[in-house]
Amino acid sequence: MAFSTVKKMLSVKMKLYADTQVSQGSIFLFNHFSRFETFIPQFLIFEQTGAYSCAIASGEFFKEDTVLSRYLKTVGVFPHNHQRLFPLLAAQVLRGRKVIIFPEGGMVKDRRVMDNQGHYNIYSRVTGDRRKQHTGAAVLAQGIEAFKATVRNAYADKNRAQLLRWKEELQFDSLDELLLSALKPTLIIPANITFYPIRSSDNLLLTGVELFADNLSFRQTEELLVEGNIMLKNTDMDVRMGKPIDPYEVWHWWNRYLLELVASELNSLEEIFALNSSPKNWQQKLLGIYFRKSANATRDQYMKAIYANVTVNLSHLAATLILYCLENGQSYITHQAFFNSLYIAVKRLQNNRHINLHRSLLNPYEYSDLTSGTNKRFEQFLSVAKNAELISEQDCCYHFLPKLLQEFNFDHIRLENPIAVYNNEVRPLTAVRDTIITALNECQHIDPQQLAEWYFDDECRDLRWEQHAYRKPRFADINSQETATADPSPFFLQPTNSNGMGVLLIHGLLASPAELRAYGGYLQQQGYTVLGIRLMGHGSSPYALQEQTYQDWYMSVLRGFAMLKAYSQRIFVTGFATGGVLALKLASENHAEIIGITAIAIPIKFNNPAFTLVSLLHGTNKLVDWVSAYEGVKPFIENDQEHPLVNYRHVPIKALYELRQLIHDMDEFLPLCTCPILIMHAKNDPVASVKSAYKVMAAITTTDKQLKIVNSNQHGILTENSAGTWEMIDEFMQHRLNHK
């Protein structure tokens, strides 16, 4: 209960990545970077399974009978130097509890877990040297497996007296429970805790402690700064569990043979764990030697798995790139080379199934602006690096300062060189470094079409993330009534025989690219390269659309246009309804690649009089949001759908308000349109009044403009190809091509 309360107060966002490992595992192993994380895994396991966990803490906490020592004992924490530590923990596992161990044996502040030869080891504060990680978890698992084997042998030998004695000692209710426990494998679950980002600025925790304690040691100050920021400043804590490890699998046949020989001699857990220190005969001594070798092999196996499950983030990539440059005598890098290298690395790592990426490297909203140099997470990394005097910026370059290569004390490095800490954390993942090197070599001469493919992939990923985000139960009131089932994904169509021309298609409000997919296929057959872009907030949930502005929609258009330019330098843009307005806005910027614009069913004047109340409704909703916790008086209105498989059934008032803002801005950008323009509208459009078309024609100043009024009573004349709409556009485009 206390943990649940504190968890809500902290700014740590804990996320557990595990499938069946939580229920399967008996022994859970975690890397160790901060003190407070030692109290978290057992609660996460309890939340998932209801099972209680024991843990191990430093013996110094148990030297005196204090409130803390009594509390630790009560919640199942054992001192690391307890004389019967392994038998006690083994008994807990046999009874169905779980054990949590930190095999590194201390807080690994520098995250340096691998030497230059690729061997795993860590710094020991006790000796001041580097050492191998502990084998305690492997020894415990092997001892439990050995005991389970002796139990199974006793069953096979029908040694009922021995079985009854073990039943009583281990507090089982029946012999069947004892046998079931002996048949269950003792699985070790390697897990990694990754914190992101790592900060070292002043925090409230340090200030509070300083009020009550004078002369804090540097070590205490460092830990309060770094770990206080983890707890109090919006940090992600990703707990990722790897594949279970069965210690029995590393046993050779002679291990099993020797165990069968001595099984009848082992009467207790104590005797099993004393095979190394107090063997009774040569068979037991030999078995103890084999156990040590097996424990080392298991240790190497689970340590590799722990470090392989680090959650890789942008700071890891940036730190790896910087230190690789320095190692190769490169003391600076241009802004754009840095941005491009990071983006390329992200896209390549997304296809590597052996690397676990932080969710910000999977969600395009978080990383797709890397190449423009406006990424917030990169800016945060850069700010920390500059404050630590590791990087300076001059003449469109980042300069790497000498401090990056200095050696720092174990208790200083998190404050003085966080870049080295990030680099060390992913050092065991050779694929990360290899990918960064490849990206750096590619960044100066990247194929524009490869870049466009990655951008298109981002658009598809963005839709999936949006759909996932708005699939939660709190959005079900509106989502459950939606009827759109057509595939809302953006589409990119390349013809068999290209005519060298590209067409960018922009759908309307409430719809998705599905609205124009059939028309896109028609254009593809004629030799055009076609891109149907998705406007943000569409194709997922009306709630998603409620969060977007018209500037967001326009950014979608700009991204689509940039992608298509990689395949064609001569582009037609066709937009339907709101998409037509956005197409004209694009035309107003006089892009040299645009050779013609078709804007269809532009909604300036509406036939629905309710739309005139949009500004009033939106203002009322904003007022209600401000004074109460409710969404608003009327956040959505129902849409009279012409294409229910494509369009949202509910219209966010906010989206209509954004449309009105976009229409208002047309007065500024329509006179700037100078390219050839075709305006089309249905004579009896039930949604947007045909007067809209005449208003647009009057506002645009280009001399090459046409107006086609289609004899139809539908709004979606492009979707339906009403009265030969497609052929009319063909004629317009062909005429422009002939006169270019």
Residues 278-330: tens digit of each pLDDT? 888 888 888 788 888 888 999 999 999 999 999 999 999 999 999 999 999 99
Residue that finishes a domain, picked among 446, 464, 482: 446
- Three-state SS across 452-520? HHHHHHHHHHHHHHHHHHCCCHHHHHHHCCCCCCCCCCCEEECCCCCCCCEEEEECCCCCCHHHHHHHH
CB-count burial class (<10 Å; 0-12, 13-18, 19+) for 535:
buried
Residues 6+ apart with CB under 8 A from 225: 200, 201, 202, 203, 206, 415
Which candidate, 361, 336, 352, places its Cα nearest to that of 446? 336
**466 located within any domain:** no
Looking at the structure, do residues 439 and 523 belong to the same domain, yes or no?
A: no
Looking at the structure, do residues 65 and 174 belong to the same domain, yes or no?
A: yes
| Each residue's pLDDT tens digit, 379-403 | 999 999 999 999 999 999 999 999 9
For residue 158, give the amino acid letter: K
Looking at the structure, do residues 214 and 357 belong to the same domain, yes or no?
A: no
Looking at the structure, do residues 526 and 628 belong to the same domain, yes or no?
A: yes
For residue 203 the two structure tokens come to 């925090």
Percentage of the chain modeled with pLDDT above 70:
93
Looking at the structure, do residues 101 and 205 belong to the same domain, yes or no?
A: yes
**Gap between the Cα atoms of 14 and 51, Å rounded:** 19
Beta partners for residue 174, in sequence order: none
Looking at the structure, do residues 230 and 375 belong to the same domain, yes or no?
A: no
Residue that finishes a domain, picked among 410, 429, 446: 446
Q: What is the predicted pLDDT for the residue at 208?
A: 61
Parent domain of 326 = 320-446
**464 located within any domain:** no
Q: Which helix (H) or strand (E) holds 183?
A: helix 175-183
2: helix, strand or coil: helix
Average of per-residue pLDDT across 671-683: 95
| Each residue's pLDDT tens digit, 699-709 | 999 999 999 99
Q: What is the predicted pLDDT for the residue at 167?
A: 92
From first CA to last CA, the distance across the chain in angstroms is 74
Pairing label, strands 502-506, 571-576: parallel
Name the least confident of 215-224, 379-388, 521-530. Answer: 215-224
Average of per-residue pLDDT across 427-450: 94
**416 located within any domain:** yes
Q: Which of 514-531 are b and which e, b meaning 16 or more Cβ less than 10 Å from the residue's Cβ?
A: bbbbebbebbbebebbbb
Which candidate, 528, 567, 564, places its Cα nearest to that of 733? 528
CA atoms lying within 13 Å on the CB side of residue 417: 25
pTM, 2 dp: 0.89
**74 located within any domain:** yes
Which candidate, 708, 667, 656, 706, places its Cα nearest to that of 685? 708
Name the least confident of 116-120, 450-454, 579-583, 656-660. Answer: 116-120
**452 located within any domain:** no
For residue 700, give the CATH number of its domain.
3.40.50.1820
Q: What is the predicted pLDDT for the residue at 626?
A: 42
Which candidate, 577, 583, 596, places its Cα nearest to that of 728? 596
pLDDT for 376 beyond 60: yes
Tokens 């917030």 locate to 376
Looking at the structure, do residues 123 and 207 belong to the same domain, yes or no?
A: yes
Q: What is the predicted pLDDT for the residue at 6?
A: 66
Pairing label, strands 332-334, 397-400: antiparallel
Mean pLDDT computed over every residue of the chain: 89
**Gap between the Cα atoms of 284 and 265, Å rounded:** 9
If you ran DSSP here, which 8-state letter would residue 119 be given?
Answer: -
Average of per-residue pLDDT across 22-42: 88
Looking at the structure, do residues 300 and 329 belong to the same domain, yes or no?
A: no
pLDDT for 630 beyond 50: no
**454 located within any domain:** no
Q: CA dist 276 to 186, 281, 289, 546, Å? A: 20, 11, 7, 67
pLDDT for 736 beyond 60: yes
Q: What is the predicted pLDDT for the residue at 273?
A: 86
Looking at the structure, do residues 506 and 617 belong to the same domain, yes or no?
A: yes
Looking at the structure, do residues 165 and 111 belong to the same domain, yes or no?
A: yes
Give just the sign of the alpha carbon dihedral 466, 467, 473, 478. positive
| Each residue's pLDDT tens digit, 105-140 | 778 999 999 887 888 888 887 778 888 898 999 999
CA atoms lying within 13 Å on the CB side of residue 595: 19
Residues 6+ apart with CB under 8 A from 238: 15, 17, 192, 193, 194, 196, 311, 358
Tokens 């001192």 locate to 79
Q: What angle do CA 708, 713, 716 make, to 5 degrees?
A: 75
Q: What is the predicted pLDDT for the residue at 608?
A: 61
Supply the DSSP string of 540-553, one letter for each residue. Answer: S-HHHHHT--HHHH
User: In sequence order, which ranges of 233-281 are alpha helices (DSSP H)?
Assistant: 253-262, 269-273
Looking at the structure, do residues 437 and 483 belong to the same domain, yes or no?
A: no
Work out how many domains the chain is built from and give that number: 3
For residue 453 the two structure tokens come to 């493919």
* Contact (CB, 8 A) for 655 and 548: yes
Q: What is the predicted pLDDT for the residue at 623?
A: 42
**655 located within any domain:** yes
Residue that finishes a domain, picked among 446, 462, 493: 446
**Gap between the Cα atoms of 47 and 51, Å rounded:** 8
Average of per-residue pLDDT across 261-290: 82
Looking at the structure, do residues 662 and 608 belong to the same domain, yes or no?
A: yes
Name the least confident of 118-127, 324-333, 336-345, 492-501. Answer: 118-127
12: helix, strand or coil: strand
pLDDT for 568 beyond 70: yes
pLDDT for 430 beyond 60: yes
For residue 154, give the amino acid letter: A
Average of per-residue pLDDT across 537-560: 96
Q: What is the predicted pLDDT for the residue at 342?
A: 97
**453 located within any domain:** no
Which candidate, 615, 622, 599, places its Cα nearest to that of 678? 599
Calculated CA dihedral for residues 720, 724, 730, 731, nearest 10 degrees: -150
